[in-house]
Amino acid sequence: MREINSLGISAEMLGQIYKKSDLYEASSAFAEHMGHPMLSQRTFEEGLSVIVENSNVLATNSGTSALHLALRVLGIGQGDEVICPTFTFVAVANAIRYVNARPVFVGIEENSLNISVEHIKDVINNRLKRNKPLPKAIIAVHAFGIPFNVKEIVDLCNLYNIHLIEDAAGALGSRYEGKHVGNYGHIGIFSFNYNKIITTAGGGALISNTLNYVDKARALASQAKITGSNYVHFDLGYNYIMHPMAAELGSVMLKKFYEILNLKQDLYEFYRSELNGKGLEFFDDAHNYRSNKWLIPVTIAHTNIGRERFSEFTRMWYPLHAQKIFNEFDYFGNDRALDIFNKGFCLPNYSYISEDEVWDTISNIKNILADE
């Protein structure tokens, strides 16, 4: 019988998603595949391809390396401009710099945490007006697993012949208009680092509807060695292939993926039912997408309660355009990303959270909000 706890969530789920036995299972598969490390990687890629609904998958050693490969495969290089959101993880802008391209930072939508279509248009119009080359690519991020405005951005990319890289680092399991995210761009990437919805203890993936892109990425990720040659290399390559032990751990985690996804959705609904509209604002799904609820970002609605009162909670990203290391690059947007940074945080929803921790969190937050 499925035991239900006081949160209304399957009791056996909380606190024990990642078990020691998972590690044993992964390490015995690793031992079995010893001598054939590609088998570990391919098994994970095949498992992942079912979830992301794309058979062209490359498993990498991080999401950052997948981004770097995506830019290399699409031929982005010296002096090219690449649009990306200001409100995201630094790896996005770093990858752009790795290929000596220039990030153009863009603000977020008024009612979401994702890149603003209007401000992307501002960049394009600005470059057209000044007779400057258009950006070669957009890296659009499904922030916190919440799908960005895919349709309008794909249309813009098609209209102006701009490559679209879909950063779905935290969006495994998120769907937009019935399709898994990552499939709408020229290339999509995922991350499986420690804090993601499933982890390989460090890893990532790259997918594409164009098999050629994935083949090229695979070759670059394996030191660009000419197949069958004796250490002859066709290009500047990298050591970016996922470690076989990480891949084995990934294969074990994939079997639990839908369970974890359900837990995340349940936790979201539970927190929402207790806290939404009572001083916190949640980011609900729209009719045409479903977020994986990897994280639960919220903003403080009360103007007289400062972010410092919630110092124990995980902060959201400090906007990239405001960071010293990127101050030479253009920004098209307003202050909303900074505003969100100042009044937002993420609720604890890790897969091993206990029932007591959830209740404590809710009562702490209610106490703070009662001071309004």
Ligand X SMILES: Cc1ncc(COP(=O)(O)O)c(C=O)c1O
Which residues contribute to the site for ligand X (CB under 6 A)? Answer: 62-64, 88-89, 91-92, 141, 167, 169-170, 191, 193, 204
> To the nearest whole angstrom, how small is the minimum distance from the Cβ of residue 91 to ligand X?
4
> To the nearest whole angstrom, how small is the minimum distance from the Cβ of residue 246 to ligand X?
11
Identity of the residue, 30 or 89, whose beta carbon is nearer to ligand X in the bound complex = 89
> To the nearest whole angstrom, how small is the minimum distance from the Cβ of residue 228 to ligand X?
31
In sequence order, what are the beta bridge partners of 86? Answer: none
Identity of the residue, 64 or 208, whose beta carbon is nearer to ligand X in the bound complex = 64
Identity of the residue, 135 or 204, whose beta carbon is nearer to ligand X in the bound complex = 204
- The first and second tokens of residue 129, run together, are 């007006």
Identity of the residue, 15 or 202, whose beta carbon is nearer to ligand X in the bound complex = 202
Query: Residues 197, 258: contact at Cβ < 8 Å?
Result: no
> To the nearest whole angstrom, how small is the minimum distance from the Cβ of residue 205 to ligand X?
10
* Close Cβ partners of 148 (under 8 Å, ≥ 6 residues apart): 112, 114, 115, 140, 141, 142
> Alpha-carbon torsion 68, 74, 78, 82, what sign?
negative
Q: Report the amino acid identity of residue 187.
A: I
Q: Which residue is nearest to ligand X (CB)?
A: 63
Identity of the residue, 146 or 365, whose beta carbon is nearer to ligand X in the bound complex = 146
**Closest-CA residue to 349 (of 14, 89, 2, 12):** 14
Identity of the residue, 72 or 365, whose beta carbon is nearer to ligand X in the bound complex = 72
> To the nearest whole angstrom, how small is the minimum distance from the Cβ of residue 295 to ligand X?
10
> To the nearest whole angstrom, how small is the minimum distance from the Cβ of residue 65 to ligand X?
7
Calpha distance 145→112 (Å, rounded):
12
> To the nearest whole angstrom, how small is the minimum distance from the Cβ of residue 194 to ligand X?
8
Query: Residues 212, 58: contact at Cβ < 8 Å?
Result: no
* Total Cβ atoms within 10 A of residue 27: 14
Quote the radius of gyration of the chain (alpha carbons, Å). Answer: 21
> To the nearest whole angstrom, how small is the minimum distance from the Cβ of residue 317 to ligand X?
8
Identity of the residue, 63 or 103, whose beta carbon is nearer to ligand X in the bound complex = 63
| Strand duo 204-207 + 187-191: pairing | antiparallel
Identity of the residue, 94 or 342, whose beta carbon is nearer to ligand X in the bound complex = 94
**Closest-CA residue to 180 (of 142, 214, 152):** 142
Scored b (16 or more CB within 10 A) or e, 251-284 reads bbbbebbeebbebbbbbbebbbebbeeebbbebe
